């Protein structure tokens, strides 16, 4: 997006061969790329050769999709589990993996024993009503669903969610990190704090999750990652 918004900035992609040891050739190539005002936007170094992609001749062809084994039956923690992507993946796991699901978000849901009253007193378009209906639909598919409420950058909060999941389900077999805000808008109008708010759940959230899960396996004998 950057060159589309800023005509004076050029972005280039320099692709080094990940399978080859990075040697003097590749480093020299990279230095040349960085110090030359080239016009090639996509460049690749392979076996001592420099390849450039001419965008007008670039073509796309479909890859055969290899058969992928489905997710194994088990307990899945989905951060952002009440959001758009989280609920789609929860639905998939409920249908294909007889999943026990721990769905987390900052706001969570009203207490379960108030759901019927909540649905009766709020319109169908109410955000929490839609999420409650989605959870009920997951349970109708046979999933056991636990709702957790924590900011994914809050380590103590996430640790509590993990501990609660372990206490209820025994162990967590898989984690899907789908908590976040998309943060659209033009780069020119972004302020550092806006970018930080978008990056926090994605980057810090991933680090917090790793620590919360690692801690749980060492402090609780019942809880471990597969």
Ligand X SMILES: NC(=O)c1ccc[n+]([C@@H]2O[C@H](COP(=O)([O-])OP(=O)(O)OC[C@H]3O[C@@H](n4cnc5c(N)ncnc54)[C@H](OP(=O)(O)O)[C@@H]3O)[C@@H](O)[C@H]2O)c1
Question: In this structure, what are the phi and psi dihedrals at residue 99, rounded to the nearest 5 degrees?
Answer: -75, 150
151 part of the interface to ligand X, by CB under 6 A: yes
Pick out residues in 97-116 that bind ligand X (CB under 6 A). 105-107
- C-alpha span between 56 and 65 (Å, rounded): 27
- C-alpha span between 117 and 22 (Å, rounded): 63
Q: Which of 55, 40, 63, 51 is nearest to 17 (CA)?
A: 51
# residues contacting ligand X (CB under 6 A): 20
178 part of the interface to ligand X, by CB under 6 A: yes
Pick out residues in 183-212 that bind ligand X (CB under 6 A). 201-202
Q: Which of 153, 64, 141 is nearest to 104 (CA)?
A: 153
Q: Which of 22, 34, 181, 199 binds ligand X (CB under 6 A)?
A: 181
48 part of the interface to ligand X, by CB under 6 A: no
**Which range, of 14-22, 23-31, 145-153, 185-193, touches ligand X by CB under 6 A?**
145-153
Q: Calculate the CA dihedral of residues 222, 203, 199, 107 and round it to 10 degrees.
A: 0
- C-alpha span between 106 and 179 (Å, rounded): 9
- C-alpha span between 168 and 19 (Å, rounded): 44
Q: Compute the least distance from the CB of residue 108 to ligand X, in Å.
A: 7
157 part of the interface to ligand X, by CB under 6 A: no
Report yes or no: 122 and 133 within 8 Å, Cβ to Cβ: no
180 part of the interface to ligand X, by CB under 6 A: yes
**Which range, of 10-18, 162-170, 173-181, 211-219, touches ligand X by CB under 6 A?**
173-181
Q: Which of 16, 53, 71, 85 binds ligand X (CB under 6 A)?
A: 85
- Give me the residues that bind ligand X (CB under 6 A), please: 79-80, 82-86, 105-107, 151-153, 178-182, 201-202
């Amino acid at each position: 997006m950057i060159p589309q918004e800023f005509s004076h900035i050029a972005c280039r992609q320099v692709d080094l061969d990940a399978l080859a040891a990075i040697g003097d050739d590749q480093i020299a190539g990279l230095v040349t790329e960085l110090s030359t005002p080239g016009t090639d936007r996509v460049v690749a170094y392979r076996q001592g050769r420099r390849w450039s992609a001419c965008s007008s001749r670039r073509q796309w062809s479909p890859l055969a999709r290899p058969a992928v084994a489905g997710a194994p039956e088990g307990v899945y923690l989905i951060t952002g589990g009440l959001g758009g992507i989280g609920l789609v993946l929860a639905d998939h796991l409920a249908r294909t993996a007889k999943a026990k699901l721990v769905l987390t978000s900052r706001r969570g849901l009203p207490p379960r024993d108030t759901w019927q009253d909540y649905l009766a007193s709020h319109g169908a378009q109410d955000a929490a009503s839609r999420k409650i209906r989605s959870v009920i639909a997951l349970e109708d598919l046979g999933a056991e669903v636990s709702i957790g409420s924590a900011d994914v950058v809050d380590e103590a909060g996430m640790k509590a969610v993990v501990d609660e999941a372990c206490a209820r389900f025994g162990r967590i077999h898989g984690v899907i990190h789908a908590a976040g805000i998309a943060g659209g808008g033009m780069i020119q109008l972004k302020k550092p704090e806006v970018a930080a708010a978008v990056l926090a759940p994605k980057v810090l959230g991933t680090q917090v999750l790793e620590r919360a899960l690692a801690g749980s396996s060492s402090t609780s004998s019942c809880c471990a990652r597969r």
